Chain A
Amino acid sequence: MKLFKRLTAIALAAILACSCMMMASCEQANNKLPIVCGETGMNDVAGVATYGVNYYSLGVKAGDMAADILLNGADVSTMSVQMDPNPTLTINETVAAEIGFTIPEAVKAKATAAGANTVTRVESAIVESGADFTVGILQLVQHVALDQSNKGFQDQLSVRMAEAGKTVTILDENASNEQSNNVTIAENFVAQKVDLIYTIATSSSQAAAAATEESKIPVLFNAVTDPVGAGLVASMEVPGGNVSGVSDINPVAQQVSLISELLETTDVKIGFLYTSAEANSKYQVDLGIAECEAKGYEYVEKGIGDINDIQAAFTALLAEGVDAIYIPTDNTLANGIATVHSVNMGE
C-alpha cells in the first residue's frame, strides 16, 4: 500500500515535470516577434508599424522633375527614378497588443506628427490655351491614391511655373480603367505634340512609352512599383530613354531602420522573409540588406518557395535568433499574410 502511494507520487511528479517542460518548450515556440511589412495592407494584418508611400508627395516629386525638364532642359534619360522622400508612418496597435509588443513613445509620436505637406497650387500658372508648355496627364483609373499623384503633380508644376514666370496647359485625361483608352489617349498626346506626358499607373505608362517611341516626348511616370520590370527604364539610376519618373515602391530603407527604432537599439538582427521566385521581392530584400550593412544591423534572409513554406521558414528564422522580421511587398506572402500572423501567434 505504501509502495503504491509512493509510486503514484512519483508518477504524478513525473507528469508534472513533463508538462512543465512541455509548457516551457511551448513558451519557447511562442516567442512572438515584431514584424514590419513593406506594404501597409499586409502590415494591417501582421505588422506592428511601417512606412507607407504618400502619393501626393510622389506627385510633387514628379512635378519637380517635369519642371526641371520643361524649364531647365534637364535630360530625362539621365534623371534617376525617384522614390517617396516623405513616407507616412503608421502603427498597428492591435497587432502590437496581440503579440505583447510595446511600441516606443518616440515612434508613436512620429506617427501622429506625420501628415502630408501640401503645396498651394498657383492657379494663374495653369491656363486653358496659349501657354508656354502643354503637359498631357494620362491616369489609368479614378482612384484615391492615383488622384493624389495627379493633384500633387499639378500643384507643384504650377508653383514651379509661376516661379519661372511661365504658364502651362494641362490636358488631364483618365482612361477610366479601359486600357484601350491608354493607347488612344497616349497617341492623342503625341499627335497634339505635347511637351511632356505624365502617366499614372504601370499600364498607362507603358502605353505612353510605346506611343512616344518615335517622337521621344519625355514621359514621367508615377505609381509604378517596378519601373525596370515594367520595361520603362533601363535602370533606376540611369533610365536611358525618354522615360523616367517616381516609383511608389515601399520605402524599404526607412522600413528597415524603423525596426531598430521600434526595438530602441541598433544591436538588432533582422530576418527577411520573402518569396524567392518573385523578382520584385528579391529586389526589395537587397535594398533592405544594403540598409542593414550601412547601419551595421545583423540580418539573415529566408526565401520561401510557396505559401506552405511559411511555417518552416518562420521557425528557421526563430532558430537563427532574429529580433524582428521584415516582409517586403510580395504577392505570395500577401496571400499568406494571415498565416504569417497565426504562426507568429503560435497557433
Chain B
Amino acid sequence: MLNLLLSGVTQGLIWAILALGVYLSYRILDVADLTCEGCITLGASVAAMLIWKEVNPVLGVVIAFLAGCLAGIITGILQTKLKIPPILAGILTMISLYSINIHIMSLATGASGTANLSLLNFKNGTIFAPLSDLLGLNKTMTALILGIVIVVLIIAVMYWFFGTEIGSAIRATGTNEKMCRAQGINTDTTKIIGLALSNGLIATSGALLCQYQGYSDVNMGVGSIVIGLASIIIGEAIFMKAKNFAVKLSGIIVGSVLYRVVVTFVIASGMPSTDLKLMTAVIVIVALVLTSFAGKFKKKGAKTNA
C-alpha cells in the first residue's frame, strides 16, 4: 500500500514538471500548445543519447531543457512570424519532432532509424544511480527526493521569473494582447519566450522520465498532453481559492501527484485493463465538474452575503 503510494507520488512529481510546462502555455499564455507530445520525447531522447555518450546526466538534463526551449521557439515562430494558427503550429512541431527524435536516438546507436533507446545498461550513467548511492536509498525514494527538490526549485524560479518585468509582460500577453501592444510589449517575443520555457520544462520532465523508466521511446509522448491538462484541472479544483502564484503552481504539483496516485490505485484495483482510458477520462471529468460546481456554490454564497 505504502509502496504503491510512494510509486505514484514519485511518478507524479516527474510528470508535474511537464504539467508546469503545460500550465505555462495553457493557462499563462492562453495557448493550446500541442508541441508537448513531441517535446517530452525530445527531452528523453536528448538525455538518453547524452547518457550513451557518457555525458554527465545533470548536464544532460540541462541540454534537454535547452532542446525543449528550441522546440518551443520554433512553435513560437510558426505562430507569430508565420501566422500559423497555434494548434496547427504545435502539431507541426510535434510531428517534425517525431523524425528528429529518431535522428537523435540514432546518434547514440549509430544505426539509422533507432526508435527506442534503452538505458538499462547505462544505470550508472543516469542521474538517479549516483544519488541513490550517495543517499543510501532505493531508486523510488531517490527519485522522490530529487523530484521534490527539482519541483520546488522550478516553482521558485517560476515565481521569481513571472514577477520580473519580462515575466509580467508574458502574463499580460496571455490575458490581453491588445493592451500589451499598447503598452509597448512585443507580443511576438513574449509568446516565443513563454513557449520556449514551457517546452523547456516539458523536455526536462522527459529527460528525468527516461532515466526513471529505463528507456526513451519515440512514442512515449502519446497521451502526455492529457496528463498535463488533467493535472492542471485537478490542481485548480483543489486550490481553487489560491491567490498566490507559488501556491497555484504548488496546486499543479498536487494535481499531478494526485492524478498519478489515482491511476495507480485504479490499476491496482484490478479493473479490466481495457477500461484504463475510460477511467482517465472519468477522473478528468470529475475534477472539471467539481471545479464548476464549487465555483457556482462560491458565487451563490457571495450573492447571499451581498
Contacts and interface: CB of A to CB of B under 8 A. Distances in A.
**Residue from B110, B212, B213 having most chain A Cβ neighbours under 10 A:** B213
**Residue from B112, B140, B263 having most chain A Cβ neighbours under 10 A:** B112
B267 interface: yes
A172 interface: yes
A206 B11 contact: no
B116 A230 contact: yes
Interface residues of B, number: 42
Interface string B265-295: 0011010011011000000000000000000
Contacts of B276: 174-176, 178, 181
A277 B112 contact: yes
Interface stretch (B69-77, B185-193, B217-225): B217-225
B255 to A, nearest CB: 15
A206 B111 contact: no
Interface SS majority for chain B: helix
Interface string B117-133: 01111110000000000
B27 interface: no
Nearest to B264: A184
A179 B220 contact: yes
Contact of A177 (B7, B121, B122, B219): B219
Interface in A169-197: 171-185, 187-188, 190-192
Contacts of A180: 11, 15, 220, 223-224, 227, 260
A30 to B, nearest CB: 31
Interface string B220-264: 101110010000000000000000000000000000000010011
B7 A187 contact: yes
Contacts, number: 127
Contacts of B222: 177-179
A230 B118 contact: yes
B111 A202 contact: no
Nearest to B138: A214
A209 B122 CA distance: 13
B163 interface: no
Given A180-B223, A184-B263, A207-B215, A280 B111 contact: yes
Given A180-B15, A188-B4, A279 B217 contact: no
B139 interface: yes
Nearest to B219: A179
Give the size range of A's interface with the partner.
Answer: 35 or more
A257 interface: no
B215 A173 contact: no
B214 interface: yes
B3 interface: yes
**Residue from A190, A231, A279 having most chain B Cβ neighbours under 10 A:** A231
B213 A207 contact: yes
A231 B215 contact: yes
A231 B118 contact: yes
Interface of B: 3-4, 7-8, 11, 15, 109-113, 116, 118-123, 138-140, 212-215, 217, 219-220, 222-224, 227, 260, 263-264, 267-268, 270, 273-274, 276-277
Interface of A: 139, 142, 171-185, 187-188, 190-192, 202-203, 206-207, 209-210, 213-214, 229-232, 275, 277-280, 331-332
24 contacts: A175-B276, A176-B276, A180-B260, A183-B11, A184-B7, A188-B7, A188-B267, A190-B7, A202-B116, A202-B215, A206-B116, A206-B215, A207-B214, A207-B215, A210-B212, A210-B213, A210-B215, A230-B116, A231-B118, A231-B122, A231-B214, A231-B215, A331-B113, A332-B113
